[in-house]
Structure 1
Amino acid sequence: MKKLFTGIACILALSASAQDREITFKEGDWKTQLAAAKKENKIIFFDAYTSWCGPCKMMAKDVFTKNDVADLFNGTFYNVKYDMEKGEGPALKDKYDVKAYPTYLFINGDGEVVHKIVGSMSAQEFITESSKALKPESTAFGLAKKFNAGDHSEATTVAYLEALEKAYESDKMGSVAKTYFDGLPKTSLLEARNWELVQKYLNNPSSQAFAYLYANKAELEKKYEASKVNQYFDMTFMMSVYAVKRSYEKKADLKAPKEITAAIRKLQAARPSKSSASLLAQLDLIEFAGTKQWDKFTAKVEAILADASFPRRNDLVITAANDVVTAAPANYYATAEKWANELQKTANDFSNIQITDLRKRILKKQGKTAEAEAMAAKAMELRKEAGKKGQMTPPIMND
């Protein structure tokens, strides 16, 4: 009997250890890791994470500890991980343009990224996506070489666009889609297959193909579901305006954003949409803020605020007020406070929370810490009350 129990105990111990495998990460500075990986002729698996990232923790706990995941990575890749906010992390974040967490990079011995994955996923999906790094020609980076060398076939282009989408490279995706669709015969853009691909990938209003489709919007509405046609154009314009704003805020190369801005203005002038006034106002405000023309910025907001029928008036003014607090000189804070007072008169619960958050940010910028904390507590209470009513609440603005 004793031998039986001993045997069972050994089996259970072996079973437990068999289920205990996980990705093993090497430690050391980046230069040393890169040299070691090159010596071993292995692709580096680079886990770019932060200590506060929930999805990063989930992947480490629930995916990296799966046997099939551990076996693939420990047997195939040279595994490293860096907190993007500590030590070498910030420099590596900039070097490899990490924008979201978790980001998983696959890097060859020469320090070149051959594959990239962004976001959390199941173990099986993680294995599938990671395995693509072993065939670099099928990754976004390998497909880029084919596309840039002149292979603009549908097969190569769609594979490249799909890879860019999974890598959260929306700006690059827009540039590739523009090149591809602008190279097609214009009338073919109205065909079902191309219209399907356009809706998924063509997000650049400066594209000639986009201009042709917008000019033929009525024809598209006859052939396809009108609501989806309108949704595509409305969403593309809106997201493009946000992209332009991000470029100004990052002080990036403004050549492409300025082309997009000019295209939106031209298209909206030729064929105004329901959102024309709002789109054009946003573009004006983005340009004024980006070029530090704060007097023109405030005058534009005052005009919007004075027009009670202006489309998306409250959203535009609240966003503009937050932009003032974020980037304008301190003497403009009082103007933002004045806008908040005016909006407060007719604010619904959602806007009221936004205005309270705005007041908190103004107080904090003014060094009134106690008042800012009290305003933050008030905003939290308003969120709780809205939650009890089953209402949506706005995200909390960073200070």
Structure 2
Amino acid sequence: MKNLIIGLLLLSLSITTKAQTKKIIFEHLTFQEALAKAKVENKLVFVDCFTTWCIPCKHMEADVFTQDSVADFYNKNFINIKVDMEKAEGPALKKMFTIEAYPSYLVLDVEGKIKNKFVGGMPAKDFIANARKGLGTSEEARLNAMYESGDRSPEFMRNYIRHKIKVMEISKAKQLNAEFMATLTPEQKASPENWFLFGQNRYTMYLSDLFSPNFKYLADNWRDFAAKNTKDTVDKKLSSVYRQIVSWTLNGFYVKVKLYDKATYEVYKSQLKKMEMPDKKQLLVMMDIAMAAGEKDINKVTDLFIKHLASFSEDNRHILFDYYTFARTIKGYDFPEIEVLSDEISKSSSNPYLVKQFQSLKERYAPKAN
């Protein structure tokens, strides 16, 4: 009996160990070797495009690649390889397949043509579903083929731009956007069908942020867009970008992209003066705040906030979160006006987090009564 129990325990341990070690089998092959082996075995090639610093890559490897359903599906259908995009043949493949986000995953045929491409961390069921699309004709392969065959119809170009952003081929999406814009009349650019290229949406940071050609066109032709997309929609987009200018100037992000230049900010003010959004006056004051910040004049920035923040909308008051970041860049600054500023925020703002942050600063920096 004792021997039987020991035997069952060993068998159980063996089964458990086997289950725990099941995972996608990544073969130590070059890219060309993987294609050749896939051809012999009548399989496709799966490429895990990763970097050593990518946290989602590590989570996928530890939590998804090791699930039985994932391992069974990938090992059955693919020759699997992992490629560090920063080493060996990685940079060449990164360029070849426009890899701009990590993790990126490729399903390729034996000629190295993309059958499907998907990006980011995801649960096992989605990871299998995305790879399964590569076994047939995926959206990626279909759209690429249509573009290569010369399809440049407006509906196709809109879908293709959206898709390239979905798979994080941002440089390609921007290239397609420029190509598409060159074919459109002013009336067509302002149409509701094309508003996603200019509006406040998931594509904003890639196609119509502050430094983009699309935003410049929108700022110069906002009346055309307002006539076709409702003025309120256009006003919200414009306000969000000018607010972003101020926020980025205060928190230092702006100068990481483009050096501060007073003349450029005068252009922003000139654009604003020609517009008719409800918070136009607030935005003009905020642009003065941005210019003072660009010139490192912390006293002027503070005075402008104290004088005008009561008239700001809650959305516009949000830039006060960036004020502290800016103030900390001024060597030796000890917030001499923090009591006045904090009290003004407490009276004006309905944002409890903003009020709390400045009350904390007041407690820390305000002179203590004897």
Q: TM-score, normalised by structure 2?
A: 0.58
Give the residue type in structure 2 aligned to 1:214: W
Alignment-derived partner of residue 80 in structure 1: 82
2: CA distance, partners of 1:323 / 1:57:
35
Alignment-derived partner of residue 300 in structure 2: 299
Point out which structure has higher relative CO (alpha carbons under 8 A, 6+ apart): 2
1:214 corresponds to 2:216 = no
2: CA distance, partners of 1:336 / 1:107:
59
2: CA distance, partners of 1:250 / 1:172:
24
Give the residue type in structure 1 aligned to 2:333: Y
Alignment-derived partner of residue 203 in structure 1: 208
Q: 2:48 aligns with which of 45, 49, 54?
A: 45
2: CA distance, partners of 1:123 / 1:303:
53
Give the residue type in structure 2 aligned to 1:203: S
Which one has a bigger Cα radius of gyration?
2
**Structure 1 segments unaligned to the other structure (5+ residues):** 1-9, 27-32, 364-399
Give the residue type in structure 1 aligned to 2:165: E
Residues 46 and 81 in structure 1, CA contact (< 8 A), matched pair in contact too? yes
Q: How does 1:59-70 map to 2 (within 5 A)?
A: 60-61=62-63, 65=67, 67-68=69-70, 70=72
Alignment-derived partner of residue 249 in structure 1: 253
2: CA distance, partners of 1:264 / 1:250:
14
Deviation at 1:67, TM superposition (A): 2.0
Q: 2:280 aligns with which of 271, 276, 285?
A: 276
Residues 189 and 213 in structure 1, CA contact (< 8 A), matched pair in contact too? no
Alignment-derived partner of residue 374 in structure 1: none
Distance 1:194 1:179, change over 3 A: same
Deviation at 1:140, TM superposition (A): 12
1:95-128 CA deviation, whole Å, 9 max, x = no partner? Answer: 999997x6335499xxxx9956134356236642
Q: Secondary structure at the residue paired with 2:82?
A: strand
1:224-265 CA deviation, whole Å, 9 max, x = no partner? Answer: xx4xx523541355157548939962755539x999978754
1:346-374 CA deviation, whole Å, 9 max, x = no partner? Answer: 255332333367679x89xxxxxxxxxxx
Q: How does 1:148-297 map to 2 (within 5 A)?
A: 152-154=152-154, 156-168=156-168, 173=173, 176-177=176-177, 179-181=179-181, 183-189=183-189, 191=191, 193-195=193-195, 199=199, 203-204=208-209, 206-207=213-214, 210-211=218-219, 214-220=222-228, 226=230, 230-235=232-237, 237-239=239-241, 242=244, 245=248, 249=253, 252-254=256-258, 265-282=269-286, 285=289, 289=293, 293-295=295-297, 297=298
Q: Secondary structure at the residue paired with 2:332?
A: helix
Q: What root-mean-square deviation, in Å, do the aligned CA atoms of Structure 1 and Structure 2 show?
A: 5.8
Could you tell which deviates more after superposition, 199-208 or 38-47?
A: 199-208
Deviation at 1:273, TM superposition (A): 0.8
Distance 1:193 1:151, change over 3 A: same
Q: Secondary structure at the residue paired with 1:294?
A: coil
**Structure 2 segments unaligned to the other structure (5+ residues):** 1-10, 36-44, 109-113, 366-370
Residue correspondences, number: 319
Give the residue type in structure 1 aligned to 2:208: N
1: CA distance, partners of 2:358 / 2:119:
37
Q: How does 1:332-347 map to 2 (within 5 A)?
A: 332-335=333-336, 337=338, 341-343=342-344, 345-346=346-347
Give the fraction of aligned pairs with identical amino acids, expressed as a percent. 12
Could you tell which deviates more after superposition, 127-136 or 328-337?
A: 127-136
Deviation at 1:299, TM superposition (A): 0.9
Q: Secondary structure at the residue paired with 1:332?
A: coil
1: CA distance, partners of 2:354 / 2:286:
19
Deviation at 1:194, TM superposition (A): 3.7
1:113-153 CA deviation, whole Å, 9 max, x = no partner? Answer: 9956134356236642685699999379969x969xx9754
Deviation at 1:309, TM superposition (A): 1.5
Q: Secondary structure at the residue paired with 1:353?
A: helix
Alignment-derived partner of residue 140 in structure 2: 138
Distance 1:142 1:168, change over 3 A: same
Give the residue type in structure 1 aligned to 2:274: A
Residues 226 and 233 in structure 2, CA contact (< 8 A), matched pair in contact too? no
Residues 54 and 103 in structure 2, CA contact (< 8 A), matched pair in contact too? no
Alignment-derived partner of residue 130 in structure 2: 128
Q: Secondary structure at the residue paired with 2:319?
A: helix
Deviation at 1:306, TM superposition (A): 1.2
2: CA distance, partners of 1:216 / 1:50:
45
1:292-341 CA deviation, whole Å, 9 max, x = no partner? Answer: x211x54134213212213346423332222322xx13322435845654
Q: Secondary structure at the residue paired with 1:45?
A: strand
Alignment-derived partner of residue 118 in structure 1: 120
Q: Secondary structure at the residue paired with 2:303?
A: helix
Q: Secondary structure at the residue paired with 1:80?
A: strand
Alignment-derived partner of residue 331 in structure 2: 330
Q: Secondary structure at the residue paired with 2:119?
A: strand
